[in-house]
Amino acid sequence: MTSTPIREPDPPDLSAEPATVEAARPAQPEHGVAAAPAASREALQAQPADAAERVEQATALGSTSPGRRRRSPRQGRHRRWTRWLLAGGAVVVAAIGVGLWLTVMVLGGKSPTGLADPADAAPTFVPYRDPQGRFSISYPSGWLREPSSDSQAVLLLRTDRESQNSMLVRIVPLDEPVGPEQLAEARKLTDSLVQASDVNVVVARQITLNGVPGYYYLYTFGEPGSDRFGLHAHYFLFSGSTMHVLVFQALPDTEFVGLAPDFDAIARSYRVG
């Protein structure tokens, strides 16, 4: 499957955050929904028939060519980070509902840590343990596991065979470890990875998910008023020389409300190691 190349733009202005979840949708009177850019026009136009393949295509990154101008040592380090992350298959992102967890982040600005793990109390959730011991997670028993052609996409789920609502876990080995001292530099990278001309980032912040530091992004994408208008979210979690990427998708965006409780439970059940 061919990946859609993504350029490396300047980091977006992420200072403004919506007061409510609804504020995440920029207004567009004609359609009654926010005018939100797409993850990339090429990715949206190339629509695989299978929802699982569509998710992988939407989250795959192509390589980029470094510029030829002379760089300072700092710029060189940033470019080097970009190269080894892109070489590792870093994701351009995905979708999310994240019910109470996301609502807390948007409305209260609080970390999700400390909230009760819904997977512990939800009998309809089943545990999954990565065969290599890199992570564990719980997901609804009715969801379907799908095969993936991407060796780094270690878990691909969707709600049912006809749905485009899905969840993806990608494990990316890094050439260098990311610790507290490197986290700020990693932010420059993650900003650039989720930025595209047709993406509207509405939330971007540093988080700690069950003890693992990283960054969380929420954005809208697609053609407003169409069934291609959705909500995407992206988690970059850094654990030493490994980056854990969680991708959730609600497509179309009207699916968000119904999916929010499950998305919330899945995200909070994720454990590294």
In a domain, 254, yes or no: yes
| Residue 248 structural domain | 31-272
The answer to whether position 16 is within a domain reads no
Q: Within a domain: residue 8? A: no
What is the structure's pLDDT at 266?
A: 95
Q: How sure is the predictor about 127, in pLDDT bands with cuts at 50, 70 and 90?
A: very high
Is residue 66 pLDDT above 70, yes or no? no
pLDDT at position 154, please? 94
Number of domains in the chain: 1
Structural domain includes residue 21:
no
**What rounded mean pLDDT belongs to the chain?**
66
pLDDT of res. 211: 96
Q: Which CATH number is 218's domain given?
A: 3.40.1000.10
For residue 4, tell me if it sits in a domain.
no
- Is 22 a domain residue? no
What the block records as the tokens of 4 is 């859609």
Would 20 be classed as within a structural domain? no
Q: Between residues 156 and 9, which one has the greater pLDDT? A: 156
User: What pLDDT, in 10s, does the model give residues 217-258?
Assistant: 988 888 888 878 888 888 999 999 999 999 899 999 889 888
Please write the tens of the pLDDT for every residue from 72-120. 444 444 444 334 333 333 333 333 333 334 433 343 333 444 444 544 4
Encode pLDDT of 255-272 as tens digits: 988 888 888 889 999 999
pTM: 0.60
Q: What is the pLDDT of residue 220?
A: 85
Q: How confident is the model at residue 53 (pLDDT cuts 50, 70, 90)?
A: very low
Domain presence at residue 112: yes
Per-residue pLDDT at 117: 53
Which tens digit of pLDDT belongs to each residue from 206-221?
A: 999 999 999 999 888 8
